[in-house]
Amino acid sequence: MNIPQDLKYTKTHEWAKREGNIVIVGITEYAQKEISDVVFVETPKLGQQIERGKPAAVVESVKAAFDIYAPVSGKVSKVNQSLESAPGIINEECYGKGWFFEIDMSYDDDWNQLLSADQYSDHLKQESTKH
Amino acid sequence: MHFHPLTDADKDEMLKEIGVSGFNDLLQGIPSVLRHPKLDIPAGLSEFEVQNLLKERLGLNQSQSDLLSFLGGGSYDHFIPSAVAQIISRNEFYTAYTPYQPEASQGTLQTIFEYQSLISELTGLDVANASHYDGATAVAEAVLLALRHTGRSKILVSSSLHPHYRQTIRTYLKGTPYIMQEFAFDENGQFSREDFMKHLDPQVGGAIFQTPNFFGVVENLMGVSESLHEAGALLIMASHPLSLSVFKSPGEWGADVAVGEGQPLGLTTQYGGPYLGYFAVARSLMRKIPGRLVGITQDSKGRRAYVLTLKAREQDIRRERASSNICTNQALCALTACVYMTLMGTLGIREVAEINLDRAYYLRAEISKLPGFHVNVNLPIFNEFVVRSDKPFARISEILKSHLILPGINLDEFYPEMKNHFLVCATETKTKGDLDRYVEALSQC
Amino acid sequence: MLISTDSRTSFEKSKPGRRGATLTSSRCLDYQPVQKISESLLRKQVLLFPELTEPEAVRHFVSLSKKNYSIDTQFYPLGSCTMKYNPKVNEWAAGLDKFSALHPFQPEETVQGMLSIFYDLEQYLKTITGMDAFTLQPAAGAHGELTGIMLVRAYHNATGQGHRSKVLVPDSSHGTNPASAALFGYRVVELKTNDRGRVDLEVLLENLDDDTACLMLTNPNTLGLFEEDILEITKQVHSKGALLYYDGANLNPLLGIARPGDMGFDIVHLNLHKTFSTPHGGGGPGSGPVGVKKRLIPFLPLPVLEKTAAGKFTWNKDAPQSIGRVKSFYGNAGMLLRAYVYIRSLGLEGILKCSEGAIVNANYLRKKLKKYFPVAIDETCMHEFVLTLKFATNKGIHAGDIGKRLLELGFHAPTVHFPLVVEEALMIEPTETESKETLDEFIEAMIAIAREIEEDPKVILDAPRNLPIARPDEVLAARKPILSYRDLVREKALQSDGVSVS
């Protein structure tokens, strides 16, 4: 399972990347595989205030819908427009072209709450033993 | 009982196979106090006994075949080609379930796709769903769509929207954060532009206009969609579907949602149901439309295939987060409408509308000549119009009954201020002789 | 091949100038009214309908019908859907002019026969379910649920309990339950089912409080199991002032055997298209009458059918506490009429044969199949049971694949991947109108499939091969929605321009 070291993670399988005060958000390879072929993404609106741990987007496969939770609180500053016409890029490049949205982070402390790549990897191991 | 194939010998053999000594052993999980209640149901009847019972019971009715009916108001007596009943009675359509297995349901799926295409043509909007229960519930669901989509709390409706639709919306909104406000119509029964604009505030998520409205008047909606869109609200339109081959379509008026009663598209009046609610939206709302949708794709061999699609919006997947709880559509009614529209074709669908206009305009003109009856001959209508009488409607109704005529719908039941006003409908099924007979009977009142 | 491979729409078979129906050339006026109507009101947009003659249209639709499976052509063991035979006398009745030509605004004195049928049907449904009153208004099961939730809210509001904000549903419930409750602002709490597939009393008690508005329950539940603790469940729920809602999807095996009213349910919805044999029609129309206990009668939707002292039937349109109107006119009258005919045909004896046959058939199938497929909860079932295909996933086979292979062998697929509490679920409901011979053929097919899972999984994964289409690409359908003929034309144009299409 590919878990890039330079990213931060949530237990709900989002990744986050920080550039100054801006946090870029996507879903992990594990999530992408669980969801299987993404057919539609309901992204948040530009300028919308979102709250850490609350649903911010919805990803649909043919047979299911999944909530995507905000890793940090803040204002949505950018949305990946290409997801609308080509949602499949989430399956192809979940850590690259398949990013979801950017957040202008409200509280710096939110960032410190996120998991490191190693912590996330441990979390995945724990989850798989539960099943 | 001729529907139940298990013989006593079958049952004995099967119970033995199951490993129990008798049927009651299979009921052990049911608390004994609950078991075998006494039911008050009469003894069964053979098929011809049932037929006799039905003939006797239904014989107490007088239908529109016994009486010359001028009733409309959301349910219309239109001509239905014989092929419609023949086709929809095909067992493979009639007794199939929801097309969850596309490989074994291409028939149902393709007819729904064609139905969606036909509704999309009629309404001039991009995306139509596989249908709702009826006009009233389709309108109510459209209200929920508009309010959720805009995040607003208020829906505006014209008071000339069908009373049942308004009542149903009110029921659906009770106990939600949403409210419905009515704007007035003028002395001609047309919506009051001034009152509409007065109600249009930043809380409004959408407005519903019916045209032809409940009084049969075709509304002029010039500028309405612009006003609504400027205010960040949606335009929802409800129309008699057959009127749309002659009058401006919802798409042309700039509507975002078109909903309404689909019964005129080949369904009998059958005492109010089952009917179907048609539901179409502009492409921008494709993901918000409730109910089933059928789309085209390819099978694993590259052949065209029809499938239910965009399913992740629906209740069986989203459960409590679904935008609607709707599960069934009115598939057989949608098939009926599909077959009807296909048989009518481009020429027939236009012609039937023209004949409705011919009958209604003629009847209105003739009634205008009668002393004691008042109509406005200058209003644009499709197949219905309001008549005001100097005499009590109850009396008119009584006299026409003796002529075996149902004169129309008493409007003061819905609009107490409209004493002795009644709504008269004349469709293509009426001959000149029928209309003249009606006018003659009215003249004797 | 008997089944046509032509998948062209009617639009693609169209030829300008053809038509499939004639009207009349006679006109009352010597002018066309459209000429007197302002241009600004008239349609300018082109209206493109298919143009076919009657024989072409008939052949088009009849050949489409042959691409469907249906109860009249196939065994249809679709769990939770009660695909029983639809007696043809029902259709005869619904086709009578004295019904089909009734207008809903006709004066009551001209429809007394119809109203008497509604009235009697209400009485039958009351005695069958043990409820005190019925409304026939709701148009489908899900619509009945909506009505039921509105009744819950109206009742609590009227009794000063309007603060109750929570609806409990088992995790095995139908999706419409939580969706209906959420639509009216209720917070839905899913109760985890116990390891016997039933409501876990402890879990229920943990979640049951003064904030609970109601518990929605299907009994027998979606695993086909009777809730043995039902009397304790209803007692506990009532002790907290909450109501009990009965989802009638699975009433068939309880006909004459047990009544939701006696179990303590306050509100019941029925699916006439399941239990009472009205045709499914490819997914509707349904009909979802709702029954209530006495204390909820004032809240029933309008209009309410009443019988006067003189024995006349009349619609009461004005009940002050009513939730109001839930649709136009008077419910799906045609479905109500069919259900009435069905009940009169069966009579008491026939009704008892329904539940008996449904339970015997289901248990027979369960017993015969359990040697080959694990049953999710292997206990005596009611009308249906759930197999789990978890053991086959290591061969790459899922429950849905078994359904596809069954289609190929001439059976409709069971319900797959539901209820959600069972992994790789295959839910089987035979109904009482199937013969032992049919069940035995189905068993043979399932045994053959069990062997194929071990020996030749590919034959299952490649199914179906003998139907009008093989498995469709649902991902493509959802990513590139083509929802109308115009979409199709546009997509084709793009293709021929070489612009897109993966």
Look up the ipTM and state it: 0.97
Q: Does A42 contact B at CB distance below 8 Å? A: yes
Residue A73 contacts by C-beta under 8 Å, 6 or more apart in sequence?
A49, A50, A51, A52, A103, A105, A106, A107, A110
Q: Are residues B72 and B207 in the same domain?
A: no
pLDDT at C228: 96
Distances (CA, A) of B327 to A31, B250, B317, B331: 29, 26, 11, 11
Q: What angle do CA C479, C414, C393 make, to 5 degrees?
A: 70
Question: Do β-strands B405-406 and B68-69 pair in parallel, antiparallel, or remain unpaired?
Answer: parallel
pLDDT at C129: 98
Confidence of residue A63 (pLDDT cuts 50, 70, 90): confident
CATH number of the domain to which B224 belongs? 3.40.640.10
> What six digits make up the tokens of B267?
């369904």
The B-side interface with A (CB below 8 A) comprises 287, 310-313, 317-318, 321
Percent share of chain C, pLDDT over 70: 98
- Whether residue C347 lies inside any domain: the answer is no
> What six digits make up the tokens of B51?
């037929």
Q: Are residues B216 and B135 in the same domain?
A: yes
Q: Are residues C456 and C367 in the same domain?
A: yes
Q: Does C99 contact B at CB distance below 8 Å? A: yes
Q: Are residues B371 and B280 in the same domain?
A: no
Distance, first Cα to last Cα, chain C: 31
Torsion B313-B316-B321-B325 (CA) sign: positive
Of B172, A115, B302, B439, nearest to C146 by C-alpha is: B172
C438, B12 in Cβ contact below 8 A?
no
Q: Are residues C367 and C454 in the same domain?
A: yes
What is the interface size between B and C, counted as CB pairs within 8 Å? 699
Q: Choosing among A39, A58, A60, which should be mutated to test the C contact, i.e. which has the most C CBs within 10 A? A: A39
For residues B33 and B27, give the distance between their C-alpha atoms in angstroms, rounded to a whole number.
12
Please tell me which chains touch C, using 3 or more CB pairs under 8 Å as the contact test.
A, B
- Whether residue C93 lies inside any domain: the answer is no
Distances (CA, A) of B378 to B78, B375, C37: 25, 9, 9
Q: Are residues B86 and B76 in the same domain?
A: no
Cβ <8 Å between C479 and A60: no
Q: Are residues C429 and C391 in the same domain?
A: yes
Say whether pTM exceeds 0.90: yes
Residues of A in contact with C474 (CB under 8 A): 62
- Whether residue A3 lies inside any domain: the answer is no
Percent share of chain B, pLDDT over 90: 93
pLDDT at C318: 87
End residue of a domain, out of B340, B374, B402: B340
Whether C185 shows a pLDDT value over 90: the answer reads: no
Taking only residues 178 to 217 of chain B, the set having a beta carbon closer than 8 angstroms to any beta carbon of chain C reads none
Nearest residue in chain A measured CA to CA from C472: A62
Residues of B in contact with A62 (CB under 8 A): 311-312
End residue of a domain, out of B292, B315, B340: B340
- φ, ψ dihedrals at C177, nearest 5°: -60, -60
For residues C179 and C200, give the distance between their C-alpha atoms in angstroms, rounded to a whole number.
22
Domain range spanning residue B395? 68-80+347-443
Number of domains in chain B: 2
CATH number of the domain to which A66 belongs? 2.40.50.100
pLDDT digits (tens, 9 = 90+) for B21-75: 999 999 999 999 999 999 999 999 999 999 999 999 999 999 999 999 999 999 9
pLDDT digits (tens, 9 = 90+) for C134-148: 999 999 999 999 999
Confidence of residue B329 (pLDDT cuts 50, 70, 90): confident
Q: Are residues C417 and C454 in the same domain?
A: yes
Three-class SS of residue C101? coil
For residues B119 and B113, give the distance between their C-alpha atoms in angstroms, rounded to a whole number.
10
- Whether residue C211 lies inside any domain: the answer is no
End residue of a domain, out of B286, B311, B340: B340
Mean pLDDT over residues B138-142, rounded? 96
Residues of C in contact with B347 (CB under 8 A): 17, 19, 51
Cβ <8 Å between A65 and B321: yes
| DSSP 8-state code for residue C468 | S
Residues of A in contact with C475 (CB under 8 A): 37, 39, 62
Residues of C in contact with B39 (CB under 8 A): 127-128, 256, 348, 351
Of B427, B269, B421, nearest to B363 by C-alpha is: B427
- Whether residue B156 lies inside any domain: the answer is yes
- Whether residue B52 lies inside any domain: the answer is no
Mean pLDDT over residues B181-206, rounded? 97
How many other β-carbons are positioned within 10 Å of the β-carbon of residue A108?
10
Nearest residue in chain B measured CA to CA from C486: B117
pLDDT digits (tens, 9 = 90+) for C346-400: 999 999 999 999 999 999 999 999 999 999 999 999 999 999 999 999 999 999 9
Nearest residue in chain C measured CA to CA from A83: C479
Cβ <8 Å between C65 and B300: no
pLDDT at B327: 64
Taking only residues 326 to 345 of chain B, the set having a beta carbon closer than 8 angstroms to any beta carbon of chain C reads 326-333, 335, 339, 341-345
Distance, first Cα to last Cα, chain A: 18
Whether B151 shows a pLDDT value over 60: the answer reads: yes
* DSSP secondary structure of C232-285: HHHHHHHHTT-EEEEEETT-GGGTTT--HHHHT-SEEEE-HHHHT----TTT--
Please tell me which chains touch B, using 3 or more CB pairs under 8 Å as the contact test.
A, C
For residues C486 and C494, give the distance between their C-alpha atoms in angstroms, rounded to a whole number.
12
For residues B216 and B363, give the distance between their C-alpha atoms in angstroms, rounded to a whole number.
14
| DSSP 8-state code for residue C114 | H
Q: Does A60 contact C at CB distance below 8 Å? A: yes
- Whether residue A1 lies inside any domain: the answer is no
Q: Which of B300, B309, B331 sits opposite C283 (nearest CB)?
A: B331
Q: Are residues C455 and C489 in the same domain?
A: no
Domain range spanning residue C56? 10-65
pLDDT at C501: 37
pLDDT at C502: 34
* DSSP secondary structure of C323-382: --B-SSTTS-HHHHHHHHHHHHHHHHHHHHHHHHHHHHHHHHHHHHHTTTS-BSS-S--S
- Whether residue C51 lies inside any domain: the answer is yes
Q: Which helix (H) or strand (E) holds B399?
A: helix B393-402
Number of domains in chain C: 3
Q: Are residues B315 and B370 in the same domain?
A: no
For residues C289 and C136, give the distance between their C-alpha atoms in angstroms, rounded to a whole number.
4
Number of domains in chain A: 1
pLDDT at C174: 84
Q: Are residues B382 and B403 in the same domain?
A: yes
Domain range spanning residue A24? 8-108
- Whether residue C490 lies inside any domain: the answer is yes
Residues of A in contact with C416 (CB under 8 A): none
C320, C304 in Cβ contact below 8 A?
no
* DSSP secondary structure of chain A: ----TT-EE-TTSEEEEEETTEEEEEE-HHHHHHH-S--EEEPPPTT-EE-TTSEEEEEE-SS-EEEEE-SS-EEEEEE-THHHH-TTHHHH-TTTTT--EEEEES-HHHHHHSBPHHHHHHHHHHHHHH-
- Whether residue C424 lies inside any domain: the answer is yes
Q: Choosing among C252, C469, C475, C482, which should be mutated to test the B contact, i.e. which has the most B CBs within 10 A? A: C469
Three-class SS of residue C428? strand
pLDDT digits (tens, 9 = 90+) for C230-264: 999 999 999 999 999 999 999 999 999 999 999 99
Q: Are residues B223 and B366 in the same domain?
A: no
- Whether residue A124 lies inside any domain: the answer is no
Of C108, A33, C165, nearest to B62 by C-alpha is: C108
Q: Does A63 contact B at CB distance below 8 Å? A: yes
